[in-house]
Amino acid sequence: MKAREHPVRNLTSQIKANNAFSPDNFAKISVFYLKLIIQEPFRIYERLSYTNEIQEHRLKKDPIFIIGHWRSGTSFLQYLLSQDPQFGFMNKFQVVFPDIFISSEHALKSLVNKIPSSLNLIRDAQNMSINLELDSPSEIEIALTTMISPASLHWGHIFPKDAEHYFNKYLFFETATEQEIQQWKDDYRYLIKKTSLENDGKQLILKSPANSCRIDKLLELYPKAQFIFIHRNPYDVFYSSKKLWDTLLDNLALQKYSEEKRENAIIDVYKKLMLCYIEQKKAVPHKQLTEIRFDHFIKDPVNELSTVYEKLDITGFDAAKSHFKEFLTQKEKGKSSNYHYEECDLTKINKEWKFAFDYWNYSIRKAGEKAKNVGLSET
């Protein structure tokens, strides 16, 4: 694997390339650099102590990837599956500190937990029913950004004026060169190896909506990888995605981005992502892909998981069942969301996403109707 550039250098290059050094961005940029400076001694130690061990580590089983568009239930599905002791995952501390978690997680976790809950990012996450416990599962895609990999699609949320550029390059790979694709593969494989090592070689459950259109690339890396695709009522995905974009832009963006442009981005990305998934799923070998509906899953999660285990030929469901039930008993219900469907939104969604309503058999709604209470976290 090619040696990665220093994260400070990569971050500076990204900010310069997007002309984002300005007084208005001083606070946000300072946080980025402060985090890198604080972790630098750990990063050097970890690089010297564990690089060879990480590179030589071999996965016992290829990962299970949870896919589906953002705000379709991928997080809740990962939370629940992670209760099965046979699986490992990347937790939130590891996602925030991917360069140093082997050597520092035990020492730093208690300090990170003391970050004031009044911070906007934390408060906004809580309002969206996002679990912030550092030991809970998180999204591997975020770790690409926090390790300052140039191959992260989330630069499109930090520099939204060029969101289409970053999405086309590192989400859909439409404009990426072979070298850029290899960069993504190397960084992804590095994160997965490191996470596997930290989880004592357990099979990994990895969640990333972006992987819905990267099935071909992931099968090149992991030929026996399995995929669980979860889909949700497209209207609810649209309105929940608007909330997600608002949170990301308010807390991370170093450029202004109008509401109209973010809505257009949601429409375009969903359409391309889902059409790409529909096409790529055709090449997935038998017993390596299954689909579930969000509304069915939240009504009877344990039964839906039994079907997942059966379709993917995963053993151990009976042993894990009690862990699933205990988690569901202890879990606080997330905030239900009732969305008022605006006429202008419905017109656009019904036109651009008609294929999704047809493919997954969702009903077309009229303006003024509300989504049903889901009763559980919608992440």
Which among 140, 127, 137, 134 is positioned nearest to 112, based on CA atoms? 134
- How confident is the model at residue 278, as a pLDDT? 98
For residue 204, is it within any domain?
A: yes
Domain count, the chain: 1
For residue 344, is it within any domain?
A: no
For residue 353, is it within any domain?
A: no
Domain region containing 221? 7-332
- How confident is the model at residue 374, as a pLDDT? 45
Contacts 24+ apart (CB under 8 A), 260-268: 261/160, 262/160, 263/345, 265/160, 265/163, 265/164, 265/167, 266/238, 266/241, 266/242, 267/238, 267/348, 267/349, 267/352, 267/353, 268/164
Q: Mind giving me the DSSP string for 53-92?
A: HHHH---SS--EEEESSTTSSHHHHHHHHTTSTTEE--BH
- How confident is the model at residue 35, as a pLDDT? 93
For the chain, report the end-to-end CA distance as a whole number of angstroms.
Answer: 34
For residue 277, is it within any domain?
A: yes
Cα separation, 60 vs 80, whole angstroms:
22
For residue 345, is it within any domain?
A: no
Neighbours of 279 (CB within 10 A): 12
- How confident is the model at residue 127, as a pLDDT? 52
Which among 212, 214, 192, 211 is positioned nearest to 203, based on CA atoms? 192
- How confident is the model at residue 349, as a pLDDT? 95
Tell me which DSSP letter residue 175 carries: S
Per-position pLDDT tens, the chain of length 379:
556 789 999 999 999 999 999 999 999 999 999 999 999 999 999 999 999 999 999 999 999 999 999 999 999 999 999 999 999 999 999 999 999 999 999 888 877 776 655 455 555 555 545 566 889 999 999 999 999 999 999 999 999 999 999 999 999 999 999 999 999 999 999 999 999 999 999 999 999 999 999 999 999 999 999 999 999 999 999 999 999 999 889 889 999 999 999 999 999 999 999 999 999 999 999 999 999 999 999 999 999 999 999 999 999 999 999 999 999 998 754 455 667 778 888 999 999 999 999 999 999 887 666 655 444 455 5
Which among 266, 293, 286 is positioned nearest to 353, based on CA atoms? 266
For residue 122, what are its two tokens?
Answer: 């934390």
For 219, the 3-state DSSP assignment is helix
- Which domain CATH number covers 163? 3.40.50.300
> β-pairing, 289-293 with 203-207?
unpaired
- How confident is the model at residue 118, as a pLDDT? 46
- How confident is the model at residue 344, as a pLDDT? 85
For residue 352, is it within any domain?
A: no
- How confident is the model at residue 131, as a pLDDT? 62
Residues 6 or more apart whose Cβ sits within 8 Å of residue 47 = 99
